[in-house]
């Protein structure tokens, strides 16, 4: 059976598992008869550690793909797909109230240059947690650990798990964003109309 590679712009096991799980659900529709392997490569997103807007989140996901493409050219890799995942905050103001939503974005490109975006919704941060990140400049990963009184949340259930009592974990959200990003590829007949 031929193999293809989905290169992910991160080496975090949770992100790689999310991409692998997503591929299990649609891989056969993506390219019949091809088994995909997921390869993680640590690359820069080009944005801050905790993006603070939708534009910065999207730029970070796209930046990871651009960095992956540069690595592929440099190494002579023939990866099939390039995947960038970025999580952070989208801050909006409504009726004089600041609201910070935790969001996850995915950007995918294939070797031919076709591109697509995926998004996995948002969950609102409690104001006390949002203030730590937005007003005091604490990275979200450190802020959620202190807020929840735990360590290593980012690589476990994520802030998503803490905020939803593990009804939705970080891996769940990333998997959803990956599926959404790949939809125009595995459901090309519908998207080409």
- What pLDDT, in 10s, does the model give residues 15-30? 999 999 999 999 989 9
Determine the pLDDT at residue 121: 86
Domain 3-191 of CATH type 3.90.950.10: yes
Nearest to 143 by CA among 88, 86, 79: 88
Whole-number Å distance between alpha carbons of 179 and 118: 7
Determine the pLDDT at residue 108: 98
Mean pLDDT along residues 26-36: 90
For the entire predicted model, the pTM comes to 0.95
Terminal-to-terminal C-alpha distance of the chain: 31
Determine the pLDDT at residue 56: 97
Whole-number Å distance between alpha carbons of 181 and 192: 15
- Give residue-wise pLDDT tens across range 142-177: 999 999 999 999 989 999 999 999 999 999 999 999
**Share of residues in the chain with pLDDT > 90 (%):** 92
Least confident of 63-67, 76-80, 188-192: 188-192
**Mean pLDDT across the chain:** 95
Whole-number Å distance between alpha carbons of 31 and 27: 7
Determine the pLDDT at residue 138: 96
- Give residue-wise pLDDT tens across range 111-125: 999 999 999 989 999
Mean pLDDT along residues 97-111: 97
- State whether the Cα torsion 58-61-65-71 is positive or negative: positive
Domain range annotation of the chain:
3-191
Instruction: Assess whether pLDDT exceeds 90 at residue 33.
Output: no
Determine the pLDDT at residue 182: 98
């Amino acid at each position: 059976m031929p193999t293809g590679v989905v290169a992910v712009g991160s080496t975090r096991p949770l992100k790689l598992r999310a991409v692998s799980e997503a591929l299990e659900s649609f891989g056969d529709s993506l390219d019949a008869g091809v088994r995909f392997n997921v390869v993680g490569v640590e690359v820069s997103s080009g944005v801050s550690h905790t993006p603070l807007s939708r534009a910065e989140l999207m730029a970070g996901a796209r930046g990871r793909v651009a960095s992956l493409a540069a690595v592929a050219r440099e190494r002579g890799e023939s990866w099939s797909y390039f995947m960038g995942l970025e999580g952070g905050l989208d801050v909006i103001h409504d009726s004089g109230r600041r609201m910070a939503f935790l969001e996850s974005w995915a950007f995918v490109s294939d070797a031919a240059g076709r591109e697509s975006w995926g998004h996995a919704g948002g969950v609102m941060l409690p104001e006390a947690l949002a203030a730590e990140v937005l007003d005091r400049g604490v990275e979200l990963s450190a802020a959620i650990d202190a807020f929840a009184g735990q360590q290593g949340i980012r690589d476990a259930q994520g802030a998503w798990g803490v905020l939803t009592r593990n009804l939705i974990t970080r891996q769940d959200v990333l998997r959803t964003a990956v599926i959404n990003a790949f939809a125009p590829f595995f459901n090309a007949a519908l998207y080409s109309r």
